[in-house]
Structure 1
Amino acid sequence: MDAEDVRRRRRRIVVQGPLAPFADGLREDLARQGFSPDTIVDHAHRLADLSRWLVERGLATGELTTMVVREFQQERRSVGVRAGTSERALAPVLGYLRRLGAVPPPAAMAAVTPVDVLLSEYRRYLENERGLAAGTVKHYLRYARTFLTGLPGPLEEALPRLSAGQVIDFVRDWSTRRRSTALDMVTLPALRSLLRFLHLAGRVPSGLAGAVPAGRGRPRNLARPRAAGRGQVRAVLAGCDRGSAVGRRDYAILLTLARLAVRGGEVARLELTDIDWRAGELTVHGKGGRIDVLPLPADVGAAIADYLLHTRPATAARNVFITVKAPFTGLATSSVTVLVGAACARAGVSRFGPHGMRHAAACDLLAAGASMEEIGQLLRHAQQRTTAIYARLDQARLAELARPCPQGAPR
């Protein structure tokens, strides 16, 4: 029997048991997502194994809860089976069954510790009262857990005794341990948010958000340029292999970042309906639910059109930019950051991220004589003081813009 015969036999997987009615639908669903034929066969095997296991346990499809799935995984591992037993391996099969409503949705993890209970309350506060984006909520909860688990003694005793000195000590220790420059931009706002919540919820007697240091950056980082240079941006764009599928996509993303100064998450969230080709406009879904309509430059439109016509995989996803491996879904914000970092490495320039390109656009406009109001309109800032942060330049570039003081002028 040759390899082709083996492959044909593998593709004739017969699923028996309670999950048998879903076999054909699973294959079609995976094919629509762009999975290869061999990968579809692997998932059909997992469906067959899971269905057979349900028969052995006398369980119906509707009884396939999260706990039952874990029992299946543990039993398979106990007999030496490793392939197809992880959460990731079973995700396509379980995801399909759950979308159909054939099996119960995944069970939410119960809050079992005082920290878990408090973080659940904090999550509801961030989502319902503050209306923060999912990514921001995730980061804030992570830093909140770090802070709360580091408090001395039981939580119910530590919070009423929480002092400004403890807050300052936490920031100092955290800054010492971390080498990331993201301390000021993420950690400190997250800590202030948690402390405001704790005071509003009556967990701490006084407001301690003001005790969090302003965080002007570490001295060793002050000389590091926050913005990407114009030459660096050009090198990154030139480094894209526009003859390949990945290169076309990456070039379109990078050019959109460079020309429109949008955020990485805004590029990831772009949908096909956000592009008005006739009017030459692009709708951007920004922070806090803000929606802006921007002019679509000809070169950006051409790059996106080239990607859509020749490279974008066939998928039901409505996102403009899609992953290059199945399942073909929209890019995550983190994927855009990784993409920009990889482009920097490919071009041989110092690493920067989507915000570095956004900052570069602000610096170029300021150097060209644009006003803060004009720069703020491009960056879509609600307050001009925010624009001033993005448009901050080093002393050498500021000196180039300064006008000489007239000789003999009164001081």
Structure 2
Amino acid sequence: MVHVSGPLETYVEGFESELMRLGFVPISRGVQLRLMGHLSGWLDAKELVVSDLTVEIVDLFIRERRASHTVLFTHRALRPLLNWLVTSGTITAEVAAPRAVQDSVLLVRFEEYLRSERRLKEISVQAQVSRVRRFLNGYTPPGGISALSANDVTRALLGEGEGRKPVSVKKFGYVLRSFLCFCFLVGELDHDLTGATLAVRLPQPSLLPIGVSAEKIQCLLSACDRNTAVGKRDYAVIIMLSRLGLRAGEVAGLRLHDMDWRHGDFLVRGKGAKDERLPLPAEVGEAVVDYLLHARPEMPDLPEVFCTVTAPWRRLGSPAVWAIVTRACKRAGMAPFGPHRLRHSLGEAMVGAHVPLAAIGQVLRHDDPVTTTNYARVDVTRLRTLAQPWPEERGQS
């Protein structure tokens, strides 16, 4: 039993009930209650009450706790408690949120451009904005963006190359090129600086889509213990990836109301904000139903289908879907690979079944037909029939 004294003492019972609702096991509830006790004692020592909590006060507590503790000294650790205090009407929602970064007007406009004109998903928008923010804070000259020169752009790319992987620098250069083009188009720059972004070359393996054999996919599915909640979830995720060719983000973004069980189809929230309905095969539907009925936590306020199995319950992201596949690979004794290999497997299987390329593009929801034509190159046997015989040399005796 954890004893909490001080200003937060009267909130213990309600907070413990909230932790149980969120799925915290007894040990984890004890950890959260001890953190609550520390904050309560700290407020008491400062002669503060709960209503005195502000963003600045929370930041001060976190800094002092970090100096004396080795765990639970972040805003994320305090989030369950602060969210509960918001729900109970004790503090405002602003106190529970970490301090927001004040971005320039130009960066805010670029963010809106990515969201509305480029129609990128929110995770991609935030990733690009983060890189541009790093550029503006670290490499913009004193005169502001209008004084930017080609030397500044090159210096930024060279600076990013120190201590970072080439793939990270390449992404930075791609985003920087997009941002500079935006600045030129909206008049923030009177000259186009996109040519100053150095091309970062990475060693490229074969551009052929490489899938996984049907036997290996079956091994992945068999490696999921469907007697456990984790196994039921992982099985449903992997069978959706392999049978429907979904992307990791599309599986992670699947919502409960996207499933139309009466008509046997579901909504896919694809790239470029393109939503399409796909049929739901019986095998896939049965796996999802098994997960929903026997493994998914009862969280009515969580709209996504797939979520974590440990508290606090929250939706899965694309990295979590990748982790599900790679962990299944290890359990099956195979070299780890990502979920996109399963998408390629479906494409290869359709090529082997002589499905027309146009139909393959529809199933995989390719925007560009050129992307689909890559799958034509994996059927080496059929490609050999297109090869012309080597011309014989004339004039030989």
TM-score (norm 1): 0.79
Please report how far the alpha carbon of residue 299 of structure 1 lies from its aligned counterpart in structure 2 after TM superposition. 0.9
Out of 61, 65, 75, the residue aligned to residue 87 of structure 1 is 75
2:363 to 378, 383, 386: 378
Asked if 2 retains the 8 angstrom alpha-carbon contact of 1:241 and 1:247, the reply is yes
Deviation at 1:24, TM superposition (A): 2.7
Structure 1 residue runs without a partner (length 5+): 1-9
* Partner residue of 1:109 out of 100, 113, 135: 100
1:332 to 317, 329, 353: 317
2:211 alignment partner AA: A
Choose from 17, 34, 41 the match for 2:23.
34
Aligned residues: 386
Q: Which of 12, 18, 33 is 1:23 aligned to?
A: 12
Cα gap change, 1:360/1:305 in structure 2, threshold over 3 Å: closer, same or farther?
Answer: same
Given candidates 229, 238, 251, the residue that maps to 2:212 is: 229
Task: Report whether the alignment pairs 1:178 with 2:165.
Answer: yes
RMSD between aligned alpha carbons? Answer: 3.7
Asked if the contact 1:322/1:328 (under 8 Å) is kept, the reply is yes
Unaligned 5+ segments in structure 2 are 390-397
Report the Cα offset of residue 300 of structure 1: 0.7
- Give the aligned residue type for 1:246: V
Tell me the residue number matched to 1:63: 52
- CA deviations on 1:113-157 (whole Å, 9 max, x unpaired) are xxx775445334333554421210122134435555674854737
Q: What does residue 403 of structure 1 align with?
A: 385
1:291 maps to a residue whose letter is: D
Letter in 2 for 1:161: S
Distance 1:344 1:83, change over 3 A: closer
Distance 1:378 1:172, change over 3 A: farther
1:16–1:52 Cα contact (<8 Å) kept: yes
Q: 1: CA distance between counterparts of 2:39 and 2:64?
A: 11
Q: Paired residue for 2:308?
A: 323
Change (3 A) 1:61 1:348: same
Task: State the SS of the aligned residue for 1:283.
Answer: strand
CA contact (8 A) 1:15 1:23 kept: no
SS for the counterpart of 1:221 is coil
CA distance in 2, matches of 1:276, 1:341: 30
CA drift of 1:358 comes to 1.6
Seq. identity, %: 33
Q: How many angstroms does 1:110 deviate by?
A: 4.2
Aligned CA distance change for structure 1 residues 49 and 150 (closer, same or farther; 3 Å): closer
CA contact (8 A) 1:111 1:117 kept: no
Alpha-carbon distance between aligned partners in 1 of 2:80 and 2:164, rounded to the nearest angstrom: 39
In 2, Cα distance between equivalents of 1:130 and 1:318: 26
Kept in 1, the 8 Å contact 2:5–2:37? The answer is yes
Does the aligned pair in 1 maintain the 2:141–2:148 contact within 8 Å? no
Aligned equivalents of 1:134 and 1:384: distance in 2? 26
1:54 aligned residue (37, 43, 48):
43
